Amino acid sequence: MAERRELTFEDVLRNAGAREAQSRLERLMPDPASLSSPAPEPRDAPGGEPGCGSGSCGCGSSRSNSLFDKPLDRRGAIGAMMGALAVTTQAVGACSPASLESDEEREAKLLERDEYFKGNYRLMTPAEKAETVRRLERLAEIRTGVDASIRTDEALPDVMYGYAFNISKCKGFRNCVEACIQENNLDRESGRQYIRIFEIEDGESIGDLEHADATYGHAVPAEGHYYLGTQCFQCANPPCVYVCPVQATWQEPDGIVVVDYDWCIGCRYCMAACPYWARRFNWSEPEVPAAEVNPRQHYLGNRARKQGVVEKCTYCIQRTREGRLPACAEACPTGARVFGNLLDPDSEIRSVLEHKQVFRLKEDLGTEPRFWYFMD
């Protein structure tokens, strides 16, 4: 119905939700008169704009109209400029005729703008965390129709997670791999997997994982082989954290190494630094069918990732901080996976460490993984 026409400045203002920007600015700068920058001269609001007066377009709502009912004063001009900024920094997709945009589309753009300007997760106040969660949940609803619930649970006090893997028990069924995919909303398109299960011949060294087979597809357990699983070990001395140039990855008080997906710049230093090949890079936008998305999410865990950022196993932070087992440990049909609190002397993981022969991978590197292997 609408033919393309040149984008007018008024369109830009409407698209960008200039009023929100204005009120936000007023809060930030209580005395704009003290600003030295010259304000544009006041001007009257234009009358009926072609293509905008129709009720279907939705942009003529009262909230943006009120801006144009009065002359732009200095404060209004600041807001208007913020709006212009938002559009220029955002996709030029805003250049489509304003009348074609739905309310939801406009809302999503506003949310994305605010997401773009948010800070590092660790610097956020609780209020700001709540705000970004609200934005992300709404964006997920608009973009994918998923009613996600994103939590920001802090680490539990007096908890340090540890993991033990029984190489006598693992039979290589990969139930853990599948559960991980389902739980953590891993990209189906590229076949993303956090967990690797290696099939190793009896008597072969575990120090030679480069030549072990992780892609086997035959019936398991295979005669004369044992199985060893790797994932992120949540090292106590994590090289991946030290090399991050922007502090987008860090260790939480409960030992989980996490990534702020909105702060990661995708340089992949951490992948080069990790001696255990635990990190994964999103070469493309991860795709999960809406019907398969796990809606129980954590900001630092299984929420939607973007293209060009690094992700990794978080011991299912969204589950473990609620007291539940990680998905891999829960789904394991052989009981090869033991998970628990290292600081609790009565925990099963401590029992394993005290009574079984345990080892860790590449212990000589001093990375101090919190992931042990043991045998019956």
Q: Looking at residues 13 to 72 of the shown chain, list those that interact with other proteins (rule: CB under 8 A).
A: 25, 27-30, 37, 40
Check binding of 260 to other proteins (CB under 8 A).
no
For residue 333, state whether it binds other proteins (rule: CB under 8 A): yes
**Closest separation between CB of residue 292 and other proteins, Å?**
5
| By CB under 8 A, residue 128 contacts other proteins | yes
Give the residue, chosen from 259, 264, 327, 342, that forms a contact with other proteins under the rule CB under 8 A: 327
Give the H/E segment covering residue 158. none
Residues 318-356: b if buried by 16+ CB within 10 A, e if exposed? bbbbeeebbbbbbbbebebbbbbbbeeeebebbebbeeb
Q: What is the spatial distance between Cα 125 and Cα 71, in angstroms, rounded to a whole number? A: 36
Q: Smallest distance from the beta carbon of 173 to other proteins, in angstroms?
A: 5
Does the protein bind other proteins through residue 148 (CB under 8 A)? Answer: no
Closest CA to 276 of 238, 232, 309: 232
Answer for which of 96, 144, 251, 347 binds other proteins (CB under 8 A) is 347
Using the rule CB under 8 A, is 134 a contact of other proteins? Answer: yes
Backbone angles phi, psi at 229, to 5 degrees: -105, 140
Q: Which residue matches tokens 């300007």?
A: 117
| Nearest alpha-carbon partner for 297 in 195, 182, 210 | 182
Give least dist CB 92 to other proteins, A: 13
Of 102 and 265, the one with the shorter C-beta distance to other proteins is 265
Residues 266-295 within binding reach of other proteins (CB under 8 A): 268, 271, 277, 280-284, 291-294
140 near other proteins, rule: CB under 8 A: no
Query: Which of 214, 236, 243, 365 forms a contact with other proteins (CB under 8 A)?
Result: 214
- Residue 351 binding other proteins, by CB under 8 A: yes
Binding flag, residue 92, other proteins (CB under 8 A): no
Nearest to 329 by CA among 161, 153, 96, 154: 161
115 binds other proteins (CB under 8 A): no
Closer of 58 and 96 to other proteins (Cβ): 96
Dihedral over alpha carbons 267, 273, 277, 280 (to 10 degrees): -20
Q: How far is the CB of 103 from other proteins (least distance, A)?
A: 20
Tell me if 317 sits within 8 A of 275, measured CB to CB. no
Cis-peptide, bond into residue 221, ω within 30° of zero: yes
CB of 76 to other proteins, least distance (A): 12
Decide: is 96 part of the binding site for other proteins (CB under 8 A).
no
| Least distance in angstroms from the C-beta of 304 to other proteins | 14
Q: Does residue 307 touch other proteins according to CB under 8 A?
A: no
**What mask, x for binding other proteins by CB under 8 A, covers residues 153 to 192?**
x--x-------x-x----xxxxx-xxx-xxxxx-x-xxxx
117 binds other proteins (CB under 8 A): yes
Task: Please identify which residue in the block is written with the tokens 């003290």.
Answer: 34
Q: Kindly state the number of chain residues that form the binding site for other proteins, as judged by CB under 8 A.
A: 113
Long-range CB contact pairs, 202-207, < 8 A, 24+: 202/226, 206/359, 206/361, 206/373
CB 304 within 8 A of CB 155: no
